[in-house]
Chain A
Amino acid sequence: MNIFFYKEPKENYDFNIGEVQKTVYDEPRSVISKNLDENISYIKDVFSVGKNGDIIAREFEIFVNQVRYKAFLICVEGLASTTFVDEYILKPLMLINEIPSKSTLEERVEKRLLTHTQVKKGNNLYELILTVNIGNAVLFVDTLDCGFTLDVKTWEHRPIGNPENEAVIQGPHEGFNEVLRCNTALIRKNLNTPNLVMENIPVGNTTKTPGALCYLKNVANDTLVNEVRRRISSIDAQYILSSLDVEQYIEDKTYLPIPQVVTTERPDRVCRALTEGRVAFVLNGSSHVLIMPATFFDLITSAEDEYLRYPYSMLIRILRYLAVFLSLLFPAIFASLVNYHPELLLTNILLTVASSRALVPFGVITELILMEIAFELIKEAGIRVPGPIGSTLGIVGGLIIGQAAVEANLVSPIMVIVVALTGIASFTVPSYSLSFSFRFMRFVYVFAAMIAGLYGVCALLYLNIMVVAGTKSFGVAFLSPVSPAEKANAFDLVFGSPIWKRGTKREDYLKPKDMFKKAKISRKWRHPND
């Protein structure tokens, strides 16, 4: 019968994750045994050699002073260069049979047999073998209570390319990638000063992700550097994989919808920040560098502002402030005016608004919120889907659906203009994180407009400014240098000024060690007699 009819299995296969014994973390072994076999068995156990397909564990013999010693080398395929390991480590060790001398085995191995540039000797077993995960090879020799770390890293990484989220038309097009030393080299190359300090700070108890704290030792305030160092090194988490994780661990106020650390992909921006006396943190595996402390005006300034001629950059800045205003308040003000205070609108505009909304079945607020949600959906979908489809989605979503919704009288044309203008304005905010904050706050403002019209919007704006004014990022007021007022740099920072005129003095609020960034007369050719 089974040949003709399908028979349902009697029991369904049902998988559930079973209970297991909880992991008990043994104290990592630090002592290197003189008996190589003990070390080998421990290392094989730690790295699950046999199960792990990418671990290379090579046992071999070396001849020193006519004596045969057992040796063991471990590295990871893909992270370490096998050519390097073969040519410069295994070959000399296995093939060179030296003339006897008085030097010890340890000295012989380190100074004669390892023909590699970066060799480090270590006595902590666990610390040594951890370096295998970052592309090093580790060598142990029988009878020696030390090991040798050999830098043979060769992992694949993204080349230095354009900083995609901070693109500029004028100015450098270099962006950070995910390799720590590549990023630190970009900073050092640009700054070209021996005062630049790059302190190694590994983050994460398990990952020990390499990180570098960067500052100019002759400029940055010591208390600021200490505070940043303290916050980063006190992170007690097993896995830290990105600098954006670090940002969330070290920021002052988590629930405040405003970023309190500048994140950037641009080496030039980091260099400028360092010259002002700020501190930067670069983490391996992350193309975003953190700059601390951050102020509102740092987040609202684009890297390009520095490269444009003064009149253009000033205009762009004013335009950006207008965009911030529109992005945050325009929908809420529109809703307040139409709902609560139509008398404030000019008669012609009022009539236009009324006639365009005559056939729309929803109230202004409902219409506005629906449109804003639709816009956010299109925006989010446009980011997530691959490039060419993303732009198509924008066109379909924005133009076709928008047009259809207006023709179906579901939304008014004026509302489409309001939402589109707000959306365009929000794209001009240079900080991605800050634009998120505006996206979120825009809805809150619309709710305030719904509850109490302009009174509600103004009350919320007041509270918003109040909260921002009370916020600090690493001890610096978020609205510096406007409030607390700093006469010298406030205008320069808010509206910009000619390059020869600005930044004679560094920002007061950073309390740098060296106040002066350049001479008062920086265009000496204008004063030949001075």
Chain B
Amino acid sequence: MTNINARETHWLFVMLILSRITLDAVSVFVKNSGTAAVINSAFGFLIAFALLFVTDRCFKVSSFDDVARDVYGKFGQRIFGFVFFCITLLNSVRRITMFSDAIGDFVLTASPYAFILIIFAVCAFVTALLGIEALVRISYITGGVTVLLIGIIMASSLVEVDITNIYPVLGKGRISNVFDMLYVYSDIVYLYYIKNSISGGQKHTFVKPLVKSAVVVSLVTLFYTLCVPYPVSEKFSYPIYRLASLSNTTVLIQRLDGIVFLIWIFSGFVSVGSLVYFASQILKDTFCLKDRKGTLPIIAFLVFIIALIGGGKWNCADGIISAFAFGALPATAIIFKYKNRRKKCKKSL
């Protein structure tokens, strides 16, 4: 694998996390916790941080496959890798479906769903084909633009802020399902897959992308809860689009909905493309294939077909990837560390 720049790689994961916030993540927080959505997102960040910290300490410089092989054996590693591949595939399907739905609902209302989907699949295929280097570079370029555009939307919706909308501060008074809180950050799991190819930043690589994206996630959630009163806020599937459509800035720029379209395009293509890339890379590493690129047409086709047939049936993917990232992975990492410690003890004896 080629060496990639740490700073640019951070932005790939920021984009992956932001792609969820541009879709339904905020509305999930609101549905779960009402006016306390921002507390929900903050809790999510803290738990994710803690779990990733543990995982990171256990992983250190070992690669994903090495850890899996060490913990589950050679055959187990293949099963683990295949499961991870299936989860990634499902994640890609979920993401492509959601973005295509959003574009179909707001931009190309008269176009067939398959048409929108096929353009997404082609872009994802090309993205994955060009590899991680091009992917992190485009993430770096589009990441900054995306954050800026989100900032413009938030700034323009300042006039709609009503502080009373956040009361009661504790919302429904309960914390939602843990995986629902964490799923926004679950894509960071792929960081451990490419960790060894990141140059100049092996230690705690997750911190920067997690913190950067958590700030944006929390701010968007806060603005949404401040601008749209509860329980009306529960009804919108795309909170960021709602925020954009609320704003009425100047005579020259009367609408900001178009900005959301750009955000969707950038985050959608980057996220789906990178997930397809990761799927091919996982498949290659797990089954020791010669060429990653050979698997790409099949993966892209699978993603397209499953998304076309399954449509909205893959909501479970969010929970599964979340469970894998913050359940299976930390558990594997802890077992790995425990095993290593035992080995060391045996050696010293």
Contacts and interface: CB of A to CB of B under 8 A. Distances in A.
Contacts of A482: 141
B108 A466 contact: no
Nearest to B269: A462
Interface string B116-146: 1001001100110011011101101110000
B5 A458 contact: no
A88 B134 CA distance: 63
Interface stretch (A16-24, A168-176, A448-456, A510-518): A448-456
B115 A485 contact: no
A185 interface: no
A436 interface: no
A359 interface: no
Given A453-B108, A470-B137, A344 B258 contact: yes
B7 A485 contact: yes
B10 to A, nearest CB: 11
B288 interface: no
Contact of B138 (A346, A458, A469): A469
B115 A459 contact: no
B316 interface: no
B80 interface: no
Interface string A271-291: 000000000000000000000
A462 B141 contact: no
Given A479-B137, A483-B140, A459 B123 contact: yes
A240 interface: no
A463 B126 contact: yes
A484 interface: yes
Interface residues of A, number: 24
Contacts of A463: 123, 126
A474 B254 CA distance: 46
Contacts, number: 77
Q: Which of B5, B108, B137, B254 is packed against the most chain A CB atoms within 10 Å?
A: B137
B229 to A, nearest CB: 27
B79 interface: no
Grouping DSSP codes into helix (H, G, I), strand (E, B) and loop, the B interface class, with mixed when no group exceeds half, is: helix
Interface in B103-118: 103, 107-108, 111, 115-116
B189 interface: no
B138 A455 contact: no
A465 interface: yes
A470 B130 contact: yes
B187 interface: no
Contact of B265 (A341, A459, A484, A485): A459
Contacts of B254: 346
A467 interface: yes
A350 to B, nearest CB: 13
Interface range on chain B: under 10, 10 to 19, 20 to 34, or 35 or more?
20 to 34
B103 A455 contact: yes
A462 B266 contact: yes
Contacts of A465: 138, 141-142
Nearest to A461: B265
Contact of B261 (A452, A458, A462): A458
Given A455-B116, A456-B119, A459-B265, A469 B141 contact: yes
Contacts of A469: 134, 137-138, 141
A477 interface: yes
A457 to B, nearest CB: 9
A435 B184 CA distance: 43
A91 to B, nearest CB: 67
A452 B111 contact: yes
Interface string B79-115: 0000000000000000000000001000110010001
Nearest to A471: B134
B318 interface: no
B108 A452 contact: yes
A340 interface: yes
A453 B107 contact: yes
B262 interface: yes
A455 B265 CA distance: 8
B140 A466 contact: no
A259 B167 CA distance: 58
Given A466-B130, A467-B130, A483-B8, A454 B107 contact: yes
B269 A459 contact: yes
Nearest to B123: A459
Contact of B262 (A340, A458, A467): A458
A454 B133 contact: no
Q: Which of B115, B138, B254 is packed against the most chain A CB atoms within 10 Å?
A: B138
B119 A485 contact: no
B126 A466 contact: yes
Contacts of B262: 458
Contacts of A484: 5, 8, 137, 140
Contacts of A341: 107
B270 to A, nearest CB: 8
A341 to B, nearest CB: 7
Pick the 7 closest A-B CB pairs, nearest first: A470-B134, A469-B137, A458-B265, A483-B137, A470-B130, A462-B269, A483-B140
15 contacts: A341-B107, A344-B255, A344-B257, A455-B116, A455-B119, A462-B142, A462-B265, A465-B141, A466-B135, A466-B273, A467-B134, A469-B137, A483-B141, A484-B137, A485-B5
Given A466-B134, A467-B130, 8 more contacts: A452-B116, A453-B108, A466-B126, A466-B138, A466-B273, A469-B138, A484-B5, A484-B137
